[in-house]
Amino acid sequence: MSHQKSDPATTKFAVKDDERNATIRDQLTRIQDSRAFCNSARAKEFLIYVVECAVEGRTEHLKERSIGVDLFHRAPSYVTGEDPIVRVKAAEVRKRLSLYYAEEEQTPEVRIEIPVGSYLPKFHWNPLAHSLPAPIEIPTVPQNAPRLKFRSRGTAVAAVILVALGIGMAFMVRLPTRQRSNLEEFWAPVLTNGQPVLICVPSPVTYAFSSELWDIARAAHPGTYASEVERNSTPLKLDPNTPLKWKEVIPLTDLFVNKDDAYVAAQLSGFFSQLHKPNQVRIGNDFNYEDLRNSPAVLIGVFNNPWTVRMTSEMPIVFREEDGVQWIEEKGSPGRT
């Protein structure tokens, strides 16, 4: 069975192939059953497909076209540039994985990641899972050893209590002092602030069609688009050569929210509510700079949320965009992207 080259930063100990694969599949099952994935069958199928291909060494199947054909039943000759189904689903799975690990209280034995720009999963192993402290050994008393004699039952009880306290103290000495988890450290500035946290959701510009275009569609497809329900649930079908005037397209601002952004906002609101932290969801232009100055805030979205780019422009990690390509960039040395 073939594996990708070992990464010393993430693989610091040897694990047998069968044990390694069993651990990966166990983590895969946990992820499928998690809140982040339980409501998306397609996301589960995508994650299972790429992980199983990696585990079984079938890395040649982890190409965009192969995934589109095998998983999404596209024709072998389909144009990947015109049908981004694989890229879209991979981006969704990456978001769901990030949410899953953000909610985990304990570091798992193996962490599954799908790097941006690739469909080949990476498996980051937790070395602490294989370096547990040795158990405390309690010496046994030989059968022929002389027995201790106590003058009274009270003395015997006291001796038992002292022994128990001694063992308890030994365990307490061996156990490390609990430190705050990375998740607790990350959210500490928000949770310790007295103001409600603002969950800021962008409302990108969308477009609707005027009644004239719907009339053309009804004439071309009799019996369809007759009601508001149909117009909201059935895509508009027009001849590709139908002339279009700009007055027939209506821009809609501060009206709709991206489905993924709404999902993240709901997850965050539930997360803060569990921690008894008051929170408010603000949509579109329902917040301003003064609100962001006075309250802790979570900005959802990057390139569809102008506040994110503006508020992070002076930070060590910034968001960049050029010629349709978007990336995250580190200022200064080493300047990773």
Per-residue pLDDT tens digits for 64-93: 999 999 999 999 999 888 888 899 899 999
Compute the distance between CA of residue 20 and CA of residue 22 in angstroms, rounded to an integer: 5
Structural domain boundaries in the chain: 17-129, 183-204+257-330, 208-252
- Identify the pLDDT of residue 25: 92
Token code pair at residue 210: 């005027």
pLDDT of 178: 61
User: What is the arithmetic mean of pLDDT over 125-148?
Assistant: 49
**pLDDT, greater one: 190 or 8:** 190
Residue 191's pLDDT band, with cuts at 50, 70 and 90, is confident
Query: Which band of pLDDT confidence, cut at 50, 70 and 90, is reported for residue 14?
Result: very low
pLDDT of residue 120: 94
Helix (H) / strand (E) containing 181:
none
Q: Provide the whole-model pTM.
A: 0.46
Dist CA 251 CA 209 (whole Å): 9
Q: Which two tokens stand for residue 96?
A: 């769901």
Residue 161: is its pLDDT beyond 50? no
- Per-residue pLDDT, averaged over 221-235, amounts to 84
What does the pLDDT read at residue 68?
A: 93
Residue 271 has pLDDT above 50, yes or no: yes
Tally: H helices and E strands in the chain: 11, 9
pLDDT digits (tens, 9 = 90+) for 204-214: 888 888 888 88
* pLDDT for 140: 42
- How far apart are the C-alpha atoms of 163 and 10, rounded to whole Å? 43
Residue with the bigger pLDDT between 46 and 39: it is 46
128 pLDDT higher than 70: no
What pLDDT does residue 176 have?
54
**Is pLDDT above 70 for 131?**
no
State the Cα–Cα distance between residues 74 and 300, nearest whole angstrom.
32
Mean pLDDT along residues 117-126 = 90
Residue 142 has pLDDT above 80, yes or no: no
Rounded mean pLDDT of 216-245? 85
Assign a CATH topology to domain 183-204+257-330. Rossmann fold (3.40.50)
pLDDT tens-place string over residues 272-297 = 998 888 999 999 888 888 888 888 99
Convert 268-285 to b/e letters by CB count within 10 Å (16 or more is b): bbebbeeeebebbbbbbe
Integer angstrom CA distances of residue 33 from 3, 21, 50, 120, 259: 27, 19, 17, 22, 21
Q: Is the distance from CB of 87 to CB of 63 less than 8 angstroms? A: no
Which pLDDT score is estimated for 129? Answer: 58
Average per-residue pLDDT for the chain: 80
Residue 100 near residue 31, CB atoms below 8 Å: yes
159 has pLDDT over 90: no
Please determine, for residue 147, whether its predicted confidence score (pLDDT) is greater than 60.
no
**Residues sharing a CB contact under 8 Å with residue 133, sequence separation 6 or more, in sequence order:** 174
The pLDDT assigned to 162 comes to 47
Average pLDDT over residues 35-52: 90
Question: According to the model, what pLDDT value does residue 139 have?
Answer: 42
pLDDT confidence of residue 69:
94
Q: What is the mean pLDDT of residues 247-276?
A: 89
Give residue 53's pLDDT band: very low, low, confident or very high (50, 70, 90). very high
**pLDDT above 50: residue 100:** yes
pLDDT score for 266: 93
Q: Which DSSP category does 60 fall into? A: G
